[in-house]
């Protein structure tokens, strides 16, 4: 599982670390960049939504073995784009593949967490962020010093190692084994919808922070702009480090308290970035964003798994579908905002999006079962 999560992070980090070069190479404007983000989210939500249906016929192991090789192919295409149309298509393809990997690796991780009877989701997602940080830096340097497509080579090695590990060690779980259709217990759709909205707001903040990190670095430290992956690597290091300890923190203080305090920290970081501070204050604010958003998504997915143990993939698929509305609309809106008011306005707006996630999480835990609140 750790290798699969790391491979996922490598694909994301390499693409995003190469984005400034790809944007210039393809002639992409801020408006087109925002549109690409929305199209990518639409593709990601589509793959997440149909994943529950796929799970009725194919196990987690089968799907992951099929899709990991595709990740290398679509990443190679994404790193060779030279037109706006190709850039937009690359976002669609990459996000379809990533959405599929995301759903099935999280569904399998939820089962592993229950089997081990210990919190592990944040550790897995910490691996994603640390791999993302390393490959963002690698992708940035390779794209500037050499050519973007060479970044696919080390990622392909990690994908191959993860594929072999899944083939050798992942258990063969019969489809329907965790399928809600095989259980008389219905999915708690109301709670899953609220969780999906909260996840959508949170993912919007996280993806926007990742995708706009290069432009922010160019504004606050032009001398470092050539290595645009530095901003993303710094974000990934902050978020990944906290996620490695996130499960212990969750166990000690409870998911609700941890997520509420974390989002308050993230809101403060976004608000600071929105007022155009200098480099060092921006670095501290960006660290606050990374630390603040670190544990939210894995904690929400863990909550989905505990709410619907009879149908994890289907429950995660439904929650992901609901999360689609903010994840599709906000990137396009943020791109338009950046075109008019600049990059700092994007981060100021994200403070409001994070505040929306905070309010939803408070509602979720007030409506949750008392036993669930103690987990």
What value does the CA radius of gyration of the chain take, rounded to a whole number of Å?
Answer: 19
254 inside domain: yes
Q: What is the CATH number of the domain that holds 131?
A: 1.20.1250.20
Q: For residues 18 and 149, what is the distance between their CA atoms, to the nearest angstrom?
A: 9
What is the structure's pLDDT at 225?
Answer: 54
Residues 348, 82: Cα–Cα separation, whole Å: 32
Residue 213 in any domain: the answer is yes
What is the pLDDT, as a whole number, of residue 309?
Answer: 63
| Closest of 268, 276, 293 to residue 361, by C-alpha | 293
Report yes or no on 180 lying in a domain: no
Residue carrying structure tokens 């993939």: 313
Q: Could you report the per-residue pLDDT of 313-339, keeping only the tens digit for each?
A: 677 778 877 877 787 777 777 777 877
Give the per-residue pLDDT at 2: 84
- pLDDT at position 221 is 66
pLDDT of residue 223: 60
Residue numbers of the domain that contains 32: 2-175+186-373
Q: Can you read off the two tokens belonging to residue 357?
A: 């996630």
What is the pLDDT, as a whole number, of residue 109? Answer: 78
Whether 181 is covered by a domain: the verdict is no
Q: How many domains does the chain have?
A: 1
d(CA 108, CA 112): 6
Write down the H helix ranges in 275-342: 279-293, 296-307, 312-322, 324-341
First to last CA, the chain: 23
The reply to whether 208 falls in a domain is yes
Q: Is residue 248 part of a domain?
A: yes
Which of 368-373's residues contact partners 24+ apart within 8 Å by CB, and which partners? 368/191, 372/303, 372/306, 372/307, 373/254, 373/256
Report pLDDT for 73.
94
pLDDT at 336: 78
Tell me the CA distances in angstroms from 55 to 102, 174, 198, 220, one per residue in order.
13, 10, 24, 46
Residues found in the chain: 375
Full pLDDT tens readout for the chain, 375 residues:
889 999 999 998 898 888 878 888 888 877 787 788 778 778 877 787 676 677 677 777 888 899 999 999 999 999 998 888 888 888 889 888 988 888 888 777 777 766 776 666 667 877 888 888 888 888 888 888 888 899 899 999 999 999 999 888 877 776 544 444 444 556 677 788 888 888 889 888 888 887 777 667 766 766 665 565 666 677 777 777 787 777 777 777 877 788 889 999 999 999 988 887 777 888 888 888 888 888 887 778 777 767 766 666 677 778 877 877 787 777 777 777 877 777 778 888 899 999 999 998 888 877 765 434 444
């Amino acid at each position: 599982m750790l290798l699969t999560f790391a491979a996922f992070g490598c694909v994301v980090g390499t693409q995003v670390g190469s984005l400034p070069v790809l944007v210039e190479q393809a002639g992409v404007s801020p408006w087109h960049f925002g549109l690409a983000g929305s199209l990518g989210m639409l593709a990601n939500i589509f793959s997440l939504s149909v994943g529950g249906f796929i799970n009725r016929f194919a196990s987690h192991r089968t799907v992951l073995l099929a899709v990991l090789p595709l990740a290398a192919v679509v990443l190679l295409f994404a790193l060779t784009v030279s037109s706006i149309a190709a850039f937009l298509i690359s976002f669609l393809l990459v996000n379809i593949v990533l959405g599929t990997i995301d759903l099935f690796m999280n569904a399998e991780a939820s089962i592993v967490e229950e089997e081990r009877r210990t919190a592990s989701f944040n550790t897995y997602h910490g691996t994603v962020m640390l791999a993302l940080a390393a490959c963002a830096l690698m992708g940035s340097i390779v794209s500037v010093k050499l050519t973007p497509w060479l970044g696919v080579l080390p990622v392909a090695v990690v994908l191959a190692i993860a594929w072999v590990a899944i083939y050798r060690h992942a258990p063969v779980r019969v489809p329907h084994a965790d399928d809600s259709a095989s259980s008389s217990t219905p999915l708690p759709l109301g709670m899953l919808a609220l969780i999906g909205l909260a996840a959508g707001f949170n993912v919007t903040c996280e993806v926007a922070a990742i995708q706009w990190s290069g432009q922010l670095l160019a504004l606050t430290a032009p001398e470092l702009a050539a290595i645009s992956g530095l901003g993303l690597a710094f974000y990934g290091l902050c978020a990944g480090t906290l996620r490695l300890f996130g499960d212990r923190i969750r166990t000690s203080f409870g998911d609700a308290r941890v997520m509420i305090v974390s989002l308050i920290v993230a809101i403060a970081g976004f608000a600071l970035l929105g007022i155009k501070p200098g480099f060092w204050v921006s670095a501290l604010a960006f660290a606050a964003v990374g630390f603040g958003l670190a544990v939210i998504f894995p904690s929400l997915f863990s909550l989905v798994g505990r709410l619907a143990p009879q149908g994890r993939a289907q429950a995660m698929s439904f929650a992901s579908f609901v999360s689609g509305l903010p994840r599709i609309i906000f990137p396009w809106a943020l791109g338009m905002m950046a075109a008019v008011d600049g990059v700092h306005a994007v981060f100021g707006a994200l403070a409001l999006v994070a505040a929306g996630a905070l309010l939803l999480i408070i509602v979720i835990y007030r409506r949750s079962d008392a036993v669930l609140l103690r987990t």
